[in-house]
Chain A
Amino acid sequence: MDARNVGIVYRKELTDILRDRRTIISSILLPILLFPLLILGIGALATVVVRKATRESPTVMLKGEEHAPDLARRLRENKRLEVVAFRDDYVQQINDKKLRAVVEFPISFETNVREKPAEPQTIKIFHYEGELRSQAVLRWLEAAVKDYSESVVTQRLTAARVPTEVLNAFAVEKMNVASAEKVTGNILGMILPYFIIILCLTGAMVPAIDLTAGEKERGTIETILASPIGRGDLVLGKFLLVLLVSIVTTALSVLSFAGTVLIGGELLAKIQKSFVLAVSGKSIAVVFFMVVPLAATFSALLLAISLIARSYREAQSYLGPLIFIAILPGMASMLPGVELNPGLALVPVLNVSLVAKEIFAGQYHWNLIGLIFLSTCVWAALALYVAVRQFHREEVLFRM
């Protein structure tokens, strides 16, 4: 290995790639813009949905209203609902989503409730299973009906001179022990490692293709192979550049995420109160440190695979499946019950996303962190070995 030659290749590829629009877009612009756009997009969408939902209150009909004047009055006074005049085609209207629900009272409902407590009465609520708004209306109606039911029970108990407290044998109070960081960690720990891994891969993808299949497509592979540089040095120079781009992409996306959180945090808090964002600088730094050998693994692997292709497009079609392979462990880490253990610490990609999940939740198992870092380094070395081998294979370099 000749460090000078590796450096020459690295610098040349850097100059080259910085003039490539595809790389600039995919590795610099995209990671900077992704999170702000994503969060702004979600925010804007949520605002629109909420506004729309508050503007038009859902409509309901009451069937047999004359049998329940008291409850009907309560429902009409409910500001969330708009009670419209009853029509016979209500089932069709619910199906057409023009109407959200219908409450049907049996004959002499309130009279019977008052005078015949031994004969339980049944109210029917017609709704559209699986339709979000109909389900929301159903919940509100159930709550209103339950209120009414409780007032009736209270009246009965008062009449019988029984204290209402007998209804509750005991109370339950829920106590949250997770810190704000941990609550956030659970949400962030699921989404963020996933994004970081994908960006780390996609950021390296464009330069990896450009530096291998791109050379073949443009016919420069023979030019460079005829120069005195050793093939190992050539691979190393290319590898270091792809690694740099991958790390820059990841760093930019993490910074952009942090910026978005700082600026857009309030916006998010408005949408969902539980979404308190508290990520420590330490957790970001440690996760970033863990991602570096993963980026190295991806970079070497991408070079090794895309060198097989004869053209940019062919390389893209080979690398497409790789994204899925990388996403799968990321998804697996989101599953409940998949917890980090020494065995999983050796599984590439999955180990990093699991440890990132823990780190964002404020848990630092340094033994496992060290093990994962080392095992990822071993994977990276293996991938690099494969890449160097590929550059020595004539049937790969000059594939017809």
Chain B
Amino acid sequence: MIEAQSLTKIFKDKKRGEIRAVDNVSFKAQPGQIYGLLGANGAGKTTTLRMLATILKPTSGTAKVVGHDIVDDPELVRSSVGFLSTATALYGRLTAQEFVEYFGRLHGMDNATMKARIDEIFKRLDMDEFRDRRCEKLSTGEKQKVSIARTLVHDPPVMIFDEPTIGLDVMTARTIVQFIRECRAQGKTVIFSTHVMSEVEKLCDTIGIIHNGKLLAEGTLAQFGERYGQQDMEEIFVKVVGE
């Protein structure tokens, strides 16, 4: 469960002055559901998700992630979250297994639990063949699997995906989409950001449209359809943003 309360992030830029990258954003994401943040590039999606993952500190406002406050208990929040974005790269000189183990240890797992967990994940994601290969030598698809394994190693109740499919080929992107669905099926709270309308239509239980740092509209696909007399997400998005 994620509950964002008036999240605001202001960046100071020498040339442009103050930028309100995220402006008073509040929403709730429920367990067993996928919350989709839809917005153009620079709308504030990444900043919002980075604040939820406590990589950035909010300027004002806060959020609760499975009950932990992102400002007061950032380390507890990070323990409960699996964070995946196209920017979260791998350590190329570690092997796939070493990489996942590193994060398992940082999550405070003991060796026996971690070994069992990693064996299980590697088997499920069909990764055994390349588990001892260095990450720099892996294909894009294999790298994505290693990243997924990293986010899963501590079995977090909350998953945050920041544009996870950007720049990936169709097959790799499908793996990710499939993975997001599995997370929901396991009852995890899932939040993910994208600017791809079709992904929103396919995946999301609740959709939030974010533009210029502000959350402009929120609802299920059906609710949006009723409100705007449209079934096409792209048309709905243009209408919301144009208002």
A residues near B, CB below 8 A?
4-5, 8-9, 12, 15-16, 19-20, 218-220, 222-223, 225-230, 394-395, 398
Given A222-B55, A222-B87, are A16 and B78 also a contact pair (CB < 8 Å)?
no
Complex alpha-carbon distance, A107 and B55, angstroms: 95
- Is there contact, CB below 8 Å, between B57 and A219? no
- Is there contact, CB below 8 Å, between A220 and B106? no
Given A227-B78, A227-B106, are A20 and B55 also a contact pair (CB < 8 Å)?
no
- Residues of B near A398 (CB, < 8 A) are 56
Q: Quote the shortest CB–CB distance from A393 to chain B (angstroms).
A: 11
- Is there contact, CB below 8 Å, between A225 and B103? no
Interface string of B6-21 (1 = CB under 8 A from A): 0000011000000000
Complex alpha-carbon distance, A15 and B95, angstroms: 11
8 Å CB contact of A222 from B79, B85, B102, B107: B85
Number of A-B residue pairs having CB atoms within 8 Å of each other in the complex? 65
User: Interface of chain A, helix or strand or loop or mixed?
Assistant: helix
> For the complex, is B150 an interface residue (Cβ under 8 Å from A)?
yes
- Residues of A near B75 (CB, < 8 A) are 228-230
- Residues of A near B107 (CB, < 8 A) are 227-228
> For the complex, is B201 an interface residue (Cβ under 8 Å from A)?
no
Complex alpha-carbon distance, A225 and B81, angstroms: 12
> For the complex, is B205 an interface residue (Cβ under 8 Å from A)?
no
Complex alpha-carbon distance, A255 and B121, angstroms: 48
Complex alpha-carbon distance, A91 and B91, angstroms: 70
Given A16-B93, A16-B94, are A5 and B81 also a contact pair (CB < 8 Å)?
no
Residue of A nearest to B55 (CB): A225
- Residues of A near B150 (CB, < 8 A) are 223
> Can you list 5 pairs linking A and B with CB atoms under 8 Å apart?
A12-B91, A218-B91, A222-B50, A228-B79, A394-B57
8 Å CB contact of A220 from B12, B57, B89, B108: B89
- Is there contact, CB below 8 Å, between A220 and B81? no
Complex alpha-carbon distance, A395 and B107, angstroms: 26
- Is there contact, CB below 8 Å, between B88 and A20? no
Q: How many residues of B contact A (CB 8 A)?
A: 31
- Residues of A near B55 (CB, < 8 A) are 222, 225-226
- Is there contact, CB below 8 Å, between B85 and A220? no
Given A8-B105, A20-B93, A394-B56, are A222 and B88 also a contact pair (CB < 8 Å)?
yes
- Is there contact, CB below 8 Å, between B106 and A226? no
Complex alpha-carbon distance, A31 and B172, angstroms: 45
> For the complex, is B83 an interface residue (Cβ under 8 Å from A)?
yes
- Residues of A near B56 (CB, < 8 A) are 394, 398
Q: Quote the shortest CB–CB distance from B130 to chain A (angstroms).
A: 17
B76-112 contacts to A, CB under 8 A, are 76, 78-79, 81, 83, 85, 87-94, 98, 102-103, 105-108
- Is there contact, CB below 8 Å, between B102 and A226? no
- Residues of A near B76 (CB, < 8 A) are 228
- Is there contact, CB below 8 Å, between A223 and B79? no
Residue of A nearest to B79 (CB): A228
- Is there contact, CB below 8 Å, between B106 and A5? yes
Complex alpha-carbon distance, A223 and B56, angstroms: 13
Given A8-B105, A222-B85, A394-B57, are A228 and B78 also a contact pair (CB < 8 Å)?
yes
- Residues of B near A229 (CB, < 8 A) are 75, 106
- Is there contact, CB below 8 Å, between B88 and A226? yes
> For the complex, is B209 an interface residue (Cβ under 8 Å from A)?
no
B41-81 contacts to A, CB under 8 A, are 50, 53, 55-57, 75-76, 78-79, 81
Complex alpha-carbon distance, A120 and B243, angstroms: 112
Q: Quote the shortest CB–CB distance from B103 to chain A (angstroms).
A: 6
Complex alpha-carbon distance, A220 and B150, angstroms: 13
- Is there contact, CB below 8 Å, between A223 and B106? no
Complex alpha-carbon distance, A5 and B94, angstroms: 18
Known: A16-B91, A219-B89. 10 other contacts (CB 8 A): A12-B91, A12-B94, A12-B98, A12-B102, A15-B93, A220-B90, A222-B88, A228-B106, A228-B107, A228-B108
